[in-house]
């Protein structure tokens, strides 16, 4: 909100042109806010559902009737790979949330560099 007020005041004054930083600042702050909300909601959802997800995966893997001769080997391996697929889905979800976190960190780093108005080598 502060950057929106600053851009609005500068626009109304018409005393000077807006710098590139002042033009980029407002959308960048909005993008950062949205990404933080999305990241937090994804993390909360995965943490809340983690116990049920792990229980579901373990149940699907431990209930495979390996010693039952009435169940064919193709069915047993299909059950095993279904459970394994669930594990891969959880890993993929965590990977994508990690990617979103990395993107957010890069955008925040870019925002800090813009805010310092210093050359990137010196800002770090």
Q: Which residues of the chain have pLDDT under 70?
A: 1-22, 117-124
Q: What is the pLDDT of residue 23?
A: 73
Q: What is the pLDDT of residue 16?
A: 59
Q: What is the pLDDT of residue 89?
A: 93
Q: What is the pLDDT of residue 99?
A: 92
The pTM (predicted TM-score) of the whole model is 0.66
pLDDT digits over 87-108, tens only? 999 999 999 989 988 988 888 8
Is 111 within 8 Å of 32 (Cβ atoms)? yes
Is 18 within 8 Å of 11 (Cβ atoms)? yes
């Amino acid at each position: 909100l502060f950057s929106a007020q600053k851009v609005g005041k500068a626009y109304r004054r018409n005393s000077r042109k807006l710098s590139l930083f002042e033009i980029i600042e407002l959308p960048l702050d909005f993008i950062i806010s949205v990404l933080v909300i999305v990241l937090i909601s994804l993390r909360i959802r995965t943490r809340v559902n983690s116990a049920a997800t792990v229980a579901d995966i373990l149940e699907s893997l431990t209930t495979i009737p390996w010693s039952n001769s009435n169940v064919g080997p193709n069915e047993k391996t299909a059950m095993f790979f279904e459970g394994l697929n669930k594990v891969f889905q959880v890993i993929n979800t965590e990977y994508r949330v990690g990617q979103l976190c990395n993107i957010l960190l890069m955008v925040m780093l870019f925002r800090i560099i813009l805010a310092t108005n210093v050359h990137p080598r010196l800002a770090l």
